[in-house]
């Protein structure tokens, strides 16, 4: 069956460290994958998109990798700040629609 | 440029009533997507619409749920004869085109509670 999985447990890290979030999928062949941020009571906000032929994408303190052999994407936030605390969702393309993971809660402590 | 608007933000219905959720896409966007989010779960795709057309409704329950995006006015997600299991946050997103790589911009959501 098709699955998209993110770390189910919250990730707690110290301010200034690098946070790494994982997204694994099975039985999908996405042409691209996206990462979103969601704060409590709000809609998701787009962060980054990476295509299947791209190994890595960067935007300011964010970095995404996409390994189609491992069927995995890693999302990194360097020099993390308390304001980065949120739920991070990965989403992969499946034809006309996006399929979302359940999200990983990130808590950055000062 | 206003973002995606959804109303109402909170909606309470009793079992058996109808729920109507509205979504106004960003200006210039003609593609709308509806998602449902249950507590502790990810967003689940329901339906993808373009002006006056349903493009993909593969995630929509076959009964009681319907969606439209008329030529004029907002997109409407309608749930008839609501049941407790319909309680969830419903998000709509819009994009400027229908390309898979187009960014989807999400609204703040409507939180439906069925008593």
Cα dist from A43 to A13, A35, A57, A72, B101, whole Å: 24, 13, 23, 24, 19
Whole-number pLDDT of residue B1:
55
pLDDT tens digits, A30-60: 888 999 999 998 999 999 999 999 989 999 9
CA distance A94 to chain B (A): 9
Tell me which of B96 and A90 has the higher pLDDT. Answer: A90
pLDDT tens digits, B6-16: 999 999 999 99
Q: Which residues of B touch A98 (CB under 8 A)?
A: 33, 43, 45, 104
List residues in chain B touching A: CB distance below 8 A: 4, 33, 35, 40-45, 48, 55-56, 58-59, 91, 93, 98, 100-101, 103-109
CB A33 within 8 A of CB A14: no
């Amino acid at each position: 069956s098709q699955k998209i999985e993110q770390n189910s447990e919250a990730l707690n890290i110290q301010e200034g460290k690098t946070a790494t979030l994982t997204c694994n999928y099975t039985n999908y062949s996405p042409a691209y994958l996206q990462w979103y941020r969601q704060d409590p009571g709000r809609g998701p906000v787009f962060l980054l998109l990476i295509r299947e032929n791209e190994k890595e994408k960067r935007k300011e303190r964010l970095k995404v990798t996409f390994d189609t052999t491992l069927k995995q994407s890693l999302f990194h936030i360097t020099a993390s700040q308390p304001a980065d605390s949120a739920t991070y969702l990965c989403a992969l393309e499946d034809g006309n629609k996006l399929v979302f993971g359940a999200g990983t809660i990130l808590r950055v402590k000062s | 440029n206003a973002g995606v608007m959804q109303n109402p933000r909170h909606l309470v219905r009793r079992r058996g009533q109808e729920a109507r959720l509205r979504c106004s896409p960003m200006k210039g966007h003609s593609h709308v997507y509806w998602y449902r989010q249950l507590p502790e779960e990810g967003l689940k795709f329901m339906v993808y619409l373009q002006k006056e057309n349903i493009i993909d409704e593969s995630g929509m329950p076959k009964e009681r749920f319907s969606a439209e995006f008329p030529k004029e006015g907002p997109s409407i997600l309608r749930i008839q004869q609501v049941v407790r299991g319909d309680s969830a946050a419903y998000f709509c997103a819009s994009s400027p085109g229908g390309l898979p790589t187009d960014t989807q911009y999400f609204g703040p959501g409507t939180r439906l509670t069925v008593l």
